Structure 1
Amino acid sequence: MRTDINNWMPLTVSEINEVFSDIPLRWCIAGGWALDLHLCKQTREHSDIDVIITRGEQLIAYQYLNRDWMLYKAEDGKLDLWEDGEYLNSTNDIWVSKSSETPWAFQIMIIDTEENSWIYNKDKSVRRPIDNIFLKTIEGIPYLRPEIQLLHKAGGSQVREKDFNDFQTMLPSLLPQEKAWLKSALNRQFPGGHAWVEFI
C-alpha cells in the first residue's frame, strides 16, 4: 500500500496520447486538462492528469499498461496494487506510476456503460450514448466533453474552489445545447437546487 498521495510528476497530454494510442480501447483525457483541450489553451496549472476508460475494457488496459507501469486501485482512502486478472466491479480510480518508488504519472477513471450508453455514477438516470461523450483535438487526442466534465466537478460531495473556477472559465464557451444538458443533469441530481444552475 502507498500513502504518498501528493507525490506527483504527471505526464503531459502528448505523453498520455503516446501511451494510450496503441491500446485497443476507448479512452480520453478527463479532468481540468479536458477543459483546457476544449479551449485550445492552458488556463491554469494542473497537479495531475486523468484518463477515462470503460469498465468493460479495464482488463485490456491492465494487460497493456502492466508491462511498463505499476497500477494501484484507490478505494476507501487506500492505494493497493491492482492484481493481474483482478476484475474491478466497483473501483472507479486507478493511480499509475513507473515503480513503487517513483511519483504518480497519471490516474485512470473507470466509467460504467450499459448498452452503448455511458452512465453517470452519481445518478444512474443521467446517460449519454458512449460515442457521444468524447471530442477530439485537431491532433486527434480524445477528451471528455466539457458539459460532462463540469457535471463531474459539480456533482461531488464538496465542490472545490478550482472546480468552480473551471466552471466560470468554461461557461462562456459552452454551446446552448451543452448548457441545457448540464443544467438538466444538475437539476436531476440535485432536485433541491445546485449553486451553479443560476449561472447557466
Structure 2
Amino acid sequence: MHSLNAVHAYFAAYPGRYWIAGGWALDLFADRVRRPHTDVDVLVLARDLDLVAATFTDPRPTVENPNTGVQRPWQPGEPLTPGPDVLAFPDDLFPTPVRIILAASDGDDWVYHRGRGTIRKSLDDITLTTSAGLPYLAPEIALLFKSRSDRTKDTDDFHDVADLLDAPRRTWLHNHIAPRHPDHNWLAHLK
C-alpha cells in the first residue's frame, strides 16, 4: 500500500481525473492485498494529456513501449493513443514503477479502446474511491482489460474477486466479454 500512498500524494496536484487500475484496483475493491505487485497502473483520460504535461514537469514522464519496456522522451503536445501508448515515470521516483495508461473517452463516458466505441460506461460509474479519497477503477472495468489475456495472474485476479461482484457488475462484465470471446472460460462463472 506504500506505493499507492505515494501515487496518491504525487497526483494530489493533478487537476484531471485518474484511477488506480490493474491488479491494485482489484485489491482496493477486495479491501486486501491479494498478491505481490511489480508496478502501479494509473489510468488517465487521453484527452487530458495537456494536464499531465503541465502537472508532471520534473521529471516529465517518458513514452514506454509496453512490449519491450524501451522508453523515449515525450514532448508535450505529442499525440498518444489509448492502448498501445503508455507513459512511465522514472522507476526510482516511487517505491515500485508507475505507469500511466491512457483511456479513451467521449463526453462523460469512458470508452473501451478495443470495443470500437461500443463499450462504454459513465466516468462516474467506473469510479470507486477509498476512504482516504484514492480513486480506483471499478472491478468490472479492470477485469474487462484482463479478460483479453491468458496470463495466470489475470485469471487468478478474476477468481479472487469474481464472487465479490454484485449482479449488475457480473452481468455487465459477462455481456461485454461474451460477444467477442463466446468461449471465454470466465463466462460460466459470471452467469
**TM-score, length-normalised on structure 1?**
0.85
Partner of residue 13, structure 1? 4
The answer to whether the aligner puts 1:193 opposite 2:183 as a matched pair is yes
Deviations along 1:163-188, one digit per CA (max 9) or x if unpaired, are 00000000111111110000001013
Within the candidate set 115, 119, 143, 1:150 is matched to 143
Name the counterpart of 1:178.
169
Mark the CA change 1:70 to 1:107 in structure 2 (over 3 Å): closer, same or farther: same
Query: What corresponds to 1:139 in structure 2?
Result: 132
More moved, 145-154 vs 80-89: 80-89
Q: Quick one: which amino acid aligns to residue 186 of structure 2?
A: W
* The one of 113, 125, 134 aligned to 1:121: 113
Structure 2 SS opposite 1:80: strand
Distance change in 2, residues 1:18/1:123 (3 Å):
same
Alpha-carbon separation, structure 1, partners of 2:113 and 2:65: 16
Query: In the alignment, does 2:100 pair up with 1:108?
Result: yes
Distance 1:188 1:57 in 2: 31
1:68 aligns with: 59
- 1:133 and 1:148 in contact (8 A); partners too: yes
Counterpart of 1:31 in structure 2: which amino acid?
Answer: G
CA contact (8 A) 1:97 1:103 kept: no
Instruction: State the 1:114 CA deviation.
Output: 1.1
User: Deviation of residue 130 (structure 1)?
Assistant: 1.7
CA contact (8 A) 2:126 2:141 kept: yes
Contact 2:38 2:97 in 1 (8 A): no
How far did residue 37 of structure 1 move? 0.7
Contact 1:73 1:93 in 2 (8 A): yes
RMSD: 2.3
Kindly report which structure 2 residues correspond to 1:18-29, keeping only aligned pairs within 5 A, or say none.
18-29=9-20
Hey, what's the Cα distance between the residues in 2 that align with 1:111 and 1:92?
Answer: 10
| SS class of match (1:189) | coil
| Alignment partner, residue 168 of structure 1 | 159
5+ residue gaps, structure 2, are none
Alignment partners' CA distance in 2, 1:21 and 1:15: 10
1:116·1:130 contact (CA, 8 Å) conserved in 2? yes
Distance 2:28 2:186 in 1: 22
- Quote the sequence identity (%): 27
Amino acid at match of 1:199: H
**How many equivalent pairs are there?**
187
Residue 74 of structure 1, CA deviation: 2.4
Q: Is the 8 A contact 1:93 1:107 kept in 2?
A: yes
Alpha-carbon offset, residue 104 of structure 1: 6.7
Where does the alignment leave 5 or more consecutive residues of structure 1 unmatched?
Answer: 1-9
Distance 1:154 1:59 in 2: 30
